[in-house]
Amino acid sequence: MIEEAKAVNSKIVSLKRLLILLILRGYGPEEVTFRELTVGLSMKEGIFQSHIALLIKMGYVKQRKVPFNEKKKLTVYAITPEGEAALAKFENWFGDWAIKKRWENG
Amino acid sequence: MDKIGKVISILKKLDYHPKIDSFKDRLVIQKTVSILESLDIKLGYEFSIHLRGPYCRELTEDIYENKTNVENLRTNFDLSAKEEIGVMKYKEVTELDPDYLEIISTYFHYLLKEVKNEDDSIRSLKALKPHLSDSKIAVGISKSKELLPPNGKQIDEMKKEFDEWDKATVTDLSKWD
């Protein structure tokens, strides 16, 4: 179990970062705006920014600024293939751990 | 190509030339398909509620896979006369304004797919979109009602009103017999 855990990037093991990745994965190649994510996750802007910055640094999320109309520019985010792979790896490891735990507890 | 072909024929009818790298254009396509599905123009895409309202990942993937065809509005699909009328009415009412499209698609999802009553649908919509002003939502709801065909109760009310007009006309004319 410990050996298998080494395959998982421990930096994504934060409920907030997992939620961000899960939401972005639901959108697939589509981008989600800063406002939608902070409102949808009920997360303060500063907290969101620190988590998303780490996910961007790890290459799991990409960010860009896009024009929405003549006045407005939006910051949007999308999950990268690396982000999807890291999330899947974590889910597999966690799934195995949960099954083992249930087995041990009868 | 079948499903996305029909979506392209709708964009063609709307005279909407999307750029797939544009966030706004993809949003307009998502909302348009969701609203038209609610109005019984069947396109075969399944929507579920996400952060910004009804969303279909399969549609986004199809748009990216068929980027050139979508951007050049290339399709062999022809809409029926009834579908064309529905699409033109949709364009006239919404003017393809992204804010109204968000409101209408979300309101229809709650009202028609989750079968909530009108008040509960509006409450759920406001909870999902706290950034939209009450006045914007009110206009959006009124546009939604313009798009929906009248229900049984509304038809009965209209009949009652027309009957009264008919009776009044007959009474007035009878004075001249």
Query: For the stretch B93-115, what's the b/e string if a residue is b when 16 or more beta carbons lie within 10 angstroms of its beta carbon?
Result: bbeeebebbbbbbbbbbbbeeee
Q: Kindly provide the ipTM of the predicted complex, given to two decimals.
A: 0.72
Q: Considering only CB atoms, which chain B residues are within 8 Å of A31?
A: 23
List residues in chain B touching A: CB distance below 8 A: 22-24, 26, 30, 50-52, 55, 57, 60-61, 64, 98, 130-131
CA distance A44 to chain B (A): 15
Contact B31, B55 (CB under 8 A): no
Q: A6 falls in which pLDDT band (50, 70, 90)? A: low
CB-based contact B52 A31, cutoff 8 Å = no
Max Cα–Cα distance, chain B, nearest Å: 72
CB-based contact B64 A35, cutoff 8 Å = no
In tens, the pLDDT along B132-173 reads 899 999 999 999 999 987 776 666 776 777 777 777 766 666
- DSSP three-state, residue A69: coil
- DSSP three-state, residue A67: strand
- DSSP three-state, residue B26: helix
In tens, the pLDDT along B38-91 reads 999 999 999 998 887 899 999 999 999 999 999 999 999 999 999 999 999 999
CB-based contact A30 B55, cutoff 8 Å = yes
Residues near B48 by Cβ (< 8 Å), separated by ≥ 6? B54, B55, B56
Q: Which of residues B83 and A69 earns the better pLDDT score?
A: B83
* pLDDT of amino acid A18: 92
**pTM of the predicted structure, to 2 decimals:** 0.80
In tens, the pLDDT along B10-43 reads 999 999 999 999 999 999 999 999 999 999 999 9
Percent of chain B, pLDDT > 90?
71
Contact A22, A65 (CB under 8 A): no
CA distances from A47 to A18, A50, B59, B131, B141 (A): 14, 5, 32, 20, 34
Enclosing H/E stretch for A64:
strand A61-67
CA distance A28 to chain B (A): 6
* pLDDT of amino acid B163: 77
A76 vs B23, B30, B131: nearest CB: B23
